[in-house]
Amino acid sequence: MSYSATSTTEQERKTITLLNGQTFHFNSNDSIEAAQIPVIDVSRIYSEKLEDRQAVADEIRDASREIGFFYMINHGVDMSYADDAMNQAKKFFALPYEKKMEVFTGLVPNEYVGYHPLEYYNRNGWKHRDLSEAFNWAYDAAEDPEAPETESKSVSIWPSDLPGFRDSLYAYHTKLLQLSRRLTRIFALALHLPEDYFDEFVKRPEAGMRILHYPAQERSADDQQGIGAHTDVECFTIVTQDLSGGLEVLSKGGSWIKASPIPGSFVVNIADCFMRQTNDFFVSTVHRVINRTGKERFSVPFFWGFDRTKLLEPVPTCVSDDNPMRYPVVTGGDYYKWRSVTQKGLGKTKETPQLVAAE
């Protein structure tokens, strides 16, 4: 969830500088329909045949390299869990502001959990703050059927007097957790690594999730956005969106491409930690949300990353004498903390914290 901090006009093009240090240019805030985001049938990830799994991995490799986004269909997740999560989101965001603020994210330093109020951030420096609100929660080993131990305390905070809220959200979280572990093996194949290469990295993963509410937007995209242009923090994100639309991806040519909803699908995007570990072989693509539908929009992104104690070192197939490592080596936890503190500091007048390489 890396958010940009500035937006300027330069030779009739917009320039955005992200908190991960990258700068991108785009032509305008208008978006277009274009068939640039691949749709991948991932049913073969459940096949017992390696050649079937490798075939899907090859498709994911191309999508992750070229655009960093793809739709995932036939993924095997019962979407009734998604429906329950969406219904819980609607209940939570309908609560009075004072009730939601009982779990305000500011109560948990250095973590991104809790409630993020409406028009609280201004990720791109537009005239008006981002028109969205969110509630985040983190990985809890007690809710992970494959956790090697369940004693670790979760950093999440939860509202009181909201029956079924936590249970429904973690029920869906668990389904996506299981899918993500399987996908991690497919990504290993996509990188021409042994299928179990990342297994040790996901025994206790970084696996945050959030529900989001976007009111109908009346202001122009030049003045306000639902969530401004950004890249995500972890390895990859699995997004469940309703049928309203609004998610947009920045193409290499500088145009915003609509990621229109496909019923029953997930949208998957590469995030910054995976870009770092693949030495920029995988693309962490800039995206945003603008709700022009005239009605409320809800979405549920799941952020999958590796164990915070592990070093974000480049994988061996993505580094060589001719292609040396491009990033300082840090732990996943240090990178996550740096990004969380930086993101929470948006709009505050303080220096951006510096990320220090691990010794």
Pair 137, 176: CB distance under 8 Å: no
- Determine phi and psi for 251, rounding to 5 degrees: -80, 165
Kindly calculate the radius of gyration of the chain based on its CA atoms and give it in whole angstroms.
19
pLDDT of 172 strictly over 70: yes
The pLDDT tens digits of the residues spanning 15-62 come to 877 766 678 788 888 898 887 899 999 999 999 999 999 999 999 999
pLDDT in the model for residue 4: 40
pLDDT in the model for residue 164: 96
DSSP code at position 331:
B
Q: By percentage, how much of the chain surpasses pLDDT 70?
A: 91
pLDDT of 356 strictly over 50: no
Between these two residues, 293 and 355, which has the higher pLDDT value?
293
Cα–Cα distance for residue pair 134/115, rounded to 1 Å: 6
Arithmetic mean of pLDDT over the chain: 89
The pLDDT tens digits of the residues spanning 59-108 come to 999 999 999 999 999 999 999 999 999 999 999 999 999 999 999 999 99
The structure tokens listed for 69 are: 């986004």
pLDDT in the model for residue 296: 97
pLDDT-based confidence at residue 182 (cuts at 50, 70, 90): very high
pLDDT of 242 strictly over 80: yes
pLDDT in the model for residue 346: 57
Cα–Cα distance for residue pair 266/268, rounded to 1 Å: 6
pLDDT in the model for residue 78: 98
The structure tokens listed for 230 are: 């950004």
pLDDT-based confidence at residue 348 (cuts at 50, 70, 90): very low
Pair 81, 172: CB distance under 8 Å: yes
State the average pLDDT over residues 177-201.
97
pLDDT-based confidence at residue 11 (cuts at 50, 70, 90): very low
Query: Sign of the C-alpha dihedral, residues 88, 90, 96, 102?
Result: positive
The structure tokens listed for 8 are: 């300027």
**What count of Cα atoms within 13 Å lies in the side-chain half-sphere of residue 124?**
32
CA nearest to 238, candidates 168, 313, 183: 183
pLDDT in the model for residue 95: 97
pLDDT of 351 strictly over 90: no
pLDDT of 289 strictly over 60: yes
pLDDT in the model for residue 355: 41
Pair 283, 65: CB distance under 8 Å: yes
Pair 296, 214: CB distance under 8 Å: yes
pLDDT in the model for residue 291: 95
- Residue 359: partners with Cβ closer than 8 Å, 6 or more residues away: none
- Residue 230: partners with Cβ closer than 8 Å, 6 or more residues away: 1, 2, 3, 4, 18, 19, 123, 286, 287, 288
Structural domains of the chain sorted by starting position, each given as residue range(s) with its CATH number in brackets: 2-344 (2.60.120.330)
pLDDT of 145 strictly over 80: yes
The structure tokens listed for 277 are: 């570990």
Can you say how many angstroms the Cα of residue 168 is from the centroid of all Cα atoms in its chain?
20
pLDDT in the model for residue 345: 66
pLDDT in the model for residue 18: 72
pLDDT in the model for residue 288: 95
CA angle 193, 198, 200 (to 5 degrees): 140
